[in-house]
Amino acid sequence: MKKSVPVNQAKWIIEPGCVVLVAGGTAEHANLMTFSWQTPIHTADPCLVLLVVNRIRYTYELIRRNHELTINVPGESLLKQTHLAGTVTGRGIDKFAHCGLTPTPARAVQPPLVAECAGHLECRIVETHGVQSHDLLICEVVGASAESEFFDGAWIPEKFHTLHYMHGTKYGLLTRRVEV
């Protein structure tokens, strides 16, 4: 038997997406935030990713300055740091240091990568669309890298467990691949 789900909880029917750490700013002044509202929208050249971000977020304030960001993919070993990054603001602290993460230079954009993450997308915002309190950011991927031990064109879940936000303090892990 199926049960009715309140509309304000409907997103959990289609979640969980892969949790990422989005960084904005510059190498000298960066911030990051935990993020799970993203999806690829065009996979050919150029590769485009859609992010949905609340306009009040400090990281977004930094992203708007240069229209660049990095998307960093943490795994299970970074669960605590990833969750912490989503619970504190970087307005008055160095969130990288506070969360025990290391900023490292990106190749094509100003915001840093998160060194401890297994995968990275370097992005430039090509379009922004406002929807109520959030902006939809269409980002062109201008650089990408991933740990070859964990990525063979897709994540190898038997070796690398991506995080999937479930609600509150709950996360899921991708642990195996199946094939039709």
Name the DSSP class of 18: B
d(CA 83, CA 35): 10
pLDDT category of residue 15 using cuts at 50, 70 and 90 = low
Mean pLDDT of the region 119-132: 96
Domain boundaries, the chain: 19-173
Task: Give which of 128, 111, 122 is closest to 66, Cα–Cα.
Answer: 111
Mean pLDDT of the region 67-72: 97
What pLDDT, on a 0 to 100 scale, did the predictor assign at position 137? Answer: 98
**What percentage of the chain has pLDDT greater than the value 70?**
94
CB contact at 8 A, 72 and 23? yes
Task: Give which of 146, 62, 56 is closest to 110, Cα–Cα.
Answer: 62
86 phi and psi angles, rounded to 5 deg: -90, 0
Task: Give which of 77, 67, 156, 162 is closest to 110, Cα–Cα.
Answer: 67
- Whether 139 shows a pLDDT value over 80: the answer reads yes
Mean per-residue pLDDT of the chain: 92
Superfamily for 19-173?
Answer: Electron Transport, Fmn-binding Protein; Chain A (2.30.110.10)
- Whether 133 shows a pLDDT value over 90: the answer reads yes
Name the DSSP class of 157: T
What pLDDT, on a 0 to 100 scale, did the predictor assign at position 11? Answer: 61
- Whether 43 shows a pLDDT value over 90: the answer reads no
- Whether 108 shows a pLDDT value over 60: the answer reads yes
The angle subtended at Cα 174 by Cα 45 and Cα 14, nearest 5°, is 70
Task: Give which of 57, 76, 39 is closest to 164, Cα–Cα.
Answer: 76
The lowest-confidence range among 1-15, 89-103, 115-129 is: 1-15
Mean pLDDT of the region 12-35: 86
70 phi and psi angles, rounded to 5 deg: -120, 145
